[in-house]
Amino acid sequence: MVRGCLIRRRGTRLSAVDSIQYNSRVSELNILERIRQAAKDGDPFAQFELGFAFDYGIGVEQDFRKAAEFYAKAAKHGHRAAEHNLLLQHISGHAKIHRPASIFLKVKSRAEAGDRDAQNNLGLCFQFGYGTKQDYAQAMVWFRRAAGNGVEKDLLIAIDWYTRAAEQRDELALIQLGWIHQKGLGVEIDLKHAFLLYLIAYKQGSSRAATHLAFMFKKGLAVTQDDFLAFQLYLECVNSPDTGMTVLQNNSYRSTAYFWLGLITEKGEGTKRDLRAATRWYTRGAALGESGCVVALARLRPARKRSLKKSVH
């Protein structure tokens, strides 16, 4: 029998946060409910995330039928990992009713255009008779094409690759794609979608995503402005274990968080006003090279000296 590659569901790197159903994160975020609402509003990333949750019983009771339903909704919007997971659910006998012929035609179209993932998936379609007649010879043809293609960099754009990786729940890609949608870099600004992408990354334990979410809550971008939540998320960023990034990247995210912790504490927004605590936060950020913290320290020191003189007199 012909064997294809990657006979596993996409996005299957389960984090510790996934396995404990997010109980250790900031509880006020209501992560699952926010994702449910985004899925209801038609966001394919949210629909895939819910399908993934039902597929593996993460935060919900395992239900392959519901998983297939949400995968199908995401696939309808062109979510490639959702198409792949639907195909594999068919292979495993978990889902056989969600428009296999339609999925097959989409996969075939992308495979013929040179998409390596689609070529591999098209081989699986022929191997297992998903949306088409079972044909081992055709399966072998497409598996060979998938294995033989090189990466034609001139034909690819960063957004496409970030989207592909984000569809598979890659943390860095989710954050980069969120930033792209937040700033409108090559796409229309979409703050709701950016927030959702950060939320999915955060659900996996990303301290970087916590920083982005904190900023959105602080500024009220796509969500109700909430200083308390912003403060808690910035705290989590500086206190949580490092995620997979270089030391330089860690310092960059943490120094930004230290600046905002200092500013929030200095102004007493979302927490008690405390100039000494603010100075400590700024000092930590300044030690990491955060220029905003250096400026803040220069501003606060004269104020602290005047405060001390008053207390003496």
pLDDT for res 189: 94
Neighbours of 74 (CB within 10 A): 28
Domain regions of the chain by residue span: 16-155, 206-312
Split at pLDDT 50, 70, 90, the class of 9 is: low
Residue 312 has pLDDT above 80, yes or no: no
Nearest to 283 by CA among 269, 266, 268, 296: 296
Decide if 55 contacts 9 (C-beta within 8 A). yes
Predicted confidence band at 225 (pLDDT cuts at 50, 70, 90)? Answer: very high
Give residue 215's pLDDT.
96
CATH assignment of 16-155, among 3.40.50.12170, 3.65.10.10, 1.20.1510.10, 1.25.40.10: 1.25.40.10
Query: Mean pLDDT across the stretch 135-149?
Result: 75
pLDDT tens per residue across span 58-111: 888 988 889 989 998 998 898 988 888 887 776 666 665 556 777 788 788 888
16 CB neighbour count, 10 Å cutoff: 10
Over range 216-223, report the average pLDDT. Answer: 96
Tell me the percentage of the chain whose pLDDT exceeds 90: 37
Lowest mean pLDDT among 62-76, 140-154, 287-301: 140-154
Band (pLDDT 50/70/90 cuts) for residue 264 is: very high
Report the share of the chain in percent with pLDDT over 70: 77
Q: Tell me the CATH number for domain 206-312.
A: 1.25.40.10
Residue range 187-216: mean pLDDT, rounded: 94
pLDDT greater at residue 239 or residue 199: 199
**How many CB atoms are located within 10 Å of the residue 275 CB?**
15
Q: Residues near 178 by Cβ (< 8 Å), separated by ≥ 6?
A: 193, 194, 195, 197, 198, 201, 209, 212
Instruction: Report pLDDT digits (tens) over 12-54.
Output: 444 433 433 344 456 678 898 999 999 999 999 999 999 999 9
Rounded Cα distance between 301 and 307, Å, is 10
Average pLDDT, the chain: 80
Please determine whether the domains at 16-155 and 206-312 fall in the same fold group of CATH: yes
- Per-residue pLDDT reduced to its tens digit, 149-175: 544 443 245 677 788 888 888 888 899
